[in-house]
C-alpha cells in the first residue's frame, strides 16, 4: 500500500512539509516499480538518497536558524539514515546478496517506508512549533 500524507505529519513549516511529501512520493514510486527490474529500482533508490540528503540539509539549516535545541541529535539521526540507505543500496544493488524479484522489492519498499515514517513521527514532529520558516 502506498504511503499517504496525513495532516498529523505536518510540522507546520510549508517548505519542510513539501519536502516530506516529495520523499513519500519517491518511496511510492519505488513501490509502484517493484516489478520493473533492478535497474529501475536502483535509480529510484538513488534518487531517494539524493533528495533526502538535500532535504536534510535544508531541515538542519532551519533548525540552526531557529536555535533548535535538538539540532545535533537530529543531525546525527539524519547521518545514520543516509548511512543505512547507502548500505541498503550497496547490499541490494551492488553486492546483490539476494535476487531482486517482486517479493524482495516489496520487502525493500517496506524498509524504506519505515526508514522515513519512523523519523517523521519520532523526530521531525518534535520540531513542531519550535522551528519556523526563516
Ligand atoms: Fe529530520
Quick: pLDDT tens for 18-69: 999 999 999 999 999 888 888 999 999 999 999 999 999 999 999 999 999 9
Going from the Cα of 8 to the center of ligand 1, the distance in angstroms, rounded, reads: 15
Give the count of beta carbons closer than 10 Å to the beta carbon of residue 110.
11
- Superfamily in which the 13-127 domain is placed by CATH: Hemerythrin-like (1.20.120.50)
Q: How far is the CA of 78 from the centre of ligand 1 (A)?
A: 6
Distance 46 CA to ligand 1 centre (A): 19
First to last CA, the chain: 35
Q: Residue 120 — very low, low, confident or very high, per pLDDT cuts 50/70/90?
A: very high
Does the pTM surpass 0.85? The reply is yes
Please tell me the distance between residue 122's alpha carbon and the centre of ligand 1 in angstroms.
9
Interval 82-119: pLDDT, tens: 999 999 899 889 998 777 888 888 888 999 999 999 99
Q: What is the pLDDT of residue 117?
A: 95
Residue 73 has pLDDT above 80, yes or no: yes
Q: Which of 115, 117, 118, 122 is nearest to 88 (CA)?
A: 115
Whether the CB-CB separation of 2 and 31 falls below 8 Å is answered with yes
CA separation for the pair 118, 114 (Å, rounded): 6
Interacting residues of 35 by C-beta distance below 8 A, sequence separation 6+: 102, 105
Around ion ligand 1, which residues have CB less than 5 A away? 124
CA of 120 to the centre of ligand 1 (A): 7
What's the pLDDT at 105? 86
75 exposure class (CB count in 10 Å sphere: 0-12, 13-18, 19+): middle
29: CA distance to ligand 1 center in Å?
Answer: 21
What ranges do the domains of the chain cover?
A: 13-127
Tell me the three cell numbers of residue 126.
518534535
Amino acid at each position: 500500500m502506498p504511503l499517504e500524507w496525513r495532516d498529523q505529519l505536518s510540522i507546520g513549516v510549508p517548505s519542510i512539509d513539501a519536502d516530506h511529501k516529495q520523499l513519500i512520493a519517491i518511496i511510492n514510486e519505488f513501490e509502484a516499480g517493484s516489478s520493473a527490474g533492478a535497474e529501475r529500482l536502483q535509480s529510484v533508490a538513488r534518487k531517494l538518497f539524493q533528495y533526502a540528503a538535500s532535504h536534510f540539509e535544508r531541515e538542519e539549516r532551519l533548525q540552526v536558524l531557529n536555535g533548535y535545541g535538538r539540532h545535533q541529535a537530529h543531525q546525527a539521526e539524519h547521518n545514520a539514515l543516509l548511512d543505512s540507505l547507502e548500505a541498503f543500496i550497496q547490499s541490494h544493488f551492488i553486492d546483490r546478496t539476494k535476487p531482486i524479484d517482486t517479493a524482495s522489492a516489496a520487502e525493500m519498499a517496506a524498509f524504506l517506508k519505515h526508514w522515513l515514517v519512523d523519523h517523521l513521527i519520532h523526530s521531525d514532529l518534535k520540531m513542531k512549533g519550535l522551528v519556523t520558516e526563516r
